[in-house]
Amino acid sequence: MTHAPASLLPDPTGHPVGPADVSARHGVVTVSWVNSADDVPTDLWAACFPPPLEGLWWYQAFEAAHLEDQFTFAYAAIRRDGELVGIAPAFKMDLALEIVLPDAIAPFVAWLGRTIPALRYQRTWFIGSPCAEEGHIGLIPGVTLDEVLPALIAAVEERAKALRAHMIVWKDVPEAAAASLERHAKLARVFKVPSFPGTEIHNLAQTFDDYLKALTGPRRYRLKKKLKASRAAIELETTVIQHPAPAEMAEIWRLFWLTYEKATTRFEKLNPSFFDALAKAETTYFVMQRRKSDGHLAAFMLCYLEANCATNKFIGIDYALGDKTFLYFRLFEDFTRWAISRNATMLRSGQTGYHAKLDLGHELIPLYNFARNRSGLMHLIYAAVGRSISWSSLDADLKVYVEARARKGSAPE
C-alpha cells in the first residue's frame, strides 16, 4: 500500500512540532502531526478506521462545523520505517471539570471556581473523538498498538506542552486497547478511570418479533405495553431518508436542540453545520416520524449503517406531545425494523440514557479514560479523585444498574 506523504504542520501556538522517534521491534516508529483529516491519505483512513468505526467522513463533519470555540483537532500520522501505518485523532478542549467529577466533589469545585475560574476548566489534550463510539487509534493490519505506543506517547506529551495543555486524556478507550495502555502506563504516567460505557445489541434477530422474543419476559412486557400506549396516543408515519432538504434539516435541528437542552450530561455543543455535514455522508440516514394528521415532525434519529452494524447516534423528540406518546420507544422500534431490513446484525446506541437502553436489551460495553496532569502535585490529586470514580458515580441510571446487580448477582430486569 502506498500513501502520499502527510505534511508536518505547526501547532496552533505557532511553534513547530517535530516528529517523535522511537525504535520498535519491527523498525523505527515516528509520529508527526497534521491539522486536518484531509492531510491524511484517504486509503490510510479506510485501512485504519474500517466500518463500523467512524472514519474520515466523521472528522470531516467536525471540521466543516467550525467548532473551534470548543475543539481544536489534530491527527497523529504514525510511520514505521518511513511508511504511514496509523492515525490517532486528537483534540484540544478547555474541559469543564464538573462533567467528569463525582457528584460529591463537583459542587465544591464549582464553588471554588467562582473565585478561581482555572479550577472549573482544565485545558486538556484528548486522544480520541468528542462523541465517537470509542476512542480508536487506527493501525493498518500487521502493526500492533504496543509497537507504536512509546513513540505516540512521546508525541502526545510533546504536543501537550506546545499547546499548554495541563491534562492529557486518552478518551473512551475500549478494553483491548486499554490492556496495551496499561502495559505502558508507567511510560505514559497515566491513571485509569472508567468512562461512560457504550451500549450494544449483538446478534440482532432477523425479525422484530424475534427481537421481542429475545428480550427477558419483564422487558418484553414493558416494551410492548409502551408501544401499545404510544399507538393509542398518536398515529405516526415513518420514513427513512438520506440527504434531507434544507427545510427538513431545520426541523431536525429544532428537535435535536430540544432534546439536547433536556440532557443532564453534555460534553460537546454541536451546531446545525455539523448536522448538515453529516447529512451529506453516504453512511448516514434519518429515521423521520411525522404525526399522521398534519405531517408535524414528532421525532427523528440520525443513524449510520456500516458493515452490518446500525448505530443510533443522535435523536430529537418533540416533548410537547406528551409523555404518553413514548416516542423514544416508537423511534427505537422503527430504527430496529429498518436495521433488520438492511441485514444489520448489531445495534449500537452510544453512551448515557442507560435506563431505557438496558430495558431495550442493550449490553454495556466498558470504556476507560487514561489521564495524567503534567503537574506532579495536581496529578496526585486527580489520581486520588479518579479512584473515587465508578459507573455509580458517573450516572444515576448506572448506579441503579450496579446496585441491582450487587443485590441479585445479575443485570437488573
Helix locations, 164-245, DSSP H: 175-183, 185-188, 208-214, 217-233
Calculate the average pLDDT of the chain: 89
Show me where the domains of the chain are located: 20-196+367-407, 199-364
Which pairing describes strands 309-317 and 346-348: parallel, antiparallel, or unpaired? parallel
DSSP state of 119: G
Matching fold, domains 20-196+367-407 and 199-364: yes
Please give the Cα distance from 250 to 255 (Å, whole number). Answer: 9
Q: Residue 184: which region, alpha, beta or left (left: phi > 0; alpha: psi -120 to 50)?
A: alpha
pLDDT at 15: 36
Burial 156-176 (b: 16+ CB within 10 A, else e): bbbbbbbbebbbbbbbbbbee
> In which element (H, E) is residue 301 found?
strand 297-306
User: In Å, how far are 205, 207, 218, 247, 320 from 213, measured between CA atoms?
Assistant: 9, 10, 11, 39, 32
> In which element (H, E) is residue 192 found?
strand 191-194
Which listed CATH number (3.40.50.10420, 3.40.50.1980, 3.40.50.720, 3.40.630.30) goes with 199-364?
A: 3.40.630.30
pLDDT at 97: 66
Bridge partners (DSSP) of residue 239 are 288
* Residue 36 DSSP SS3: coil
CATH code reported for the domain at 20-196+367-407: 3.40.630.30
First to last CA, the chain: 50
Grid coordinates representing 24 are: 520498535
pLDDT at 264: 67
- The model's confidence at residue 88, banded by pLDDT at 50, 70 and 90, is very high
Tens digits of per-residue pLDDT, 3-45? 444 433 333 333 334 456 666 566 899 999 999 999 999 999 9
pLDDT at 102: 52
- Asked if residue 295 lies in contact with residue 231, where contact means CB atoms within 8 angstroms, the answer is no
The pTM (predicted TM-score) of the whole model is 0.87
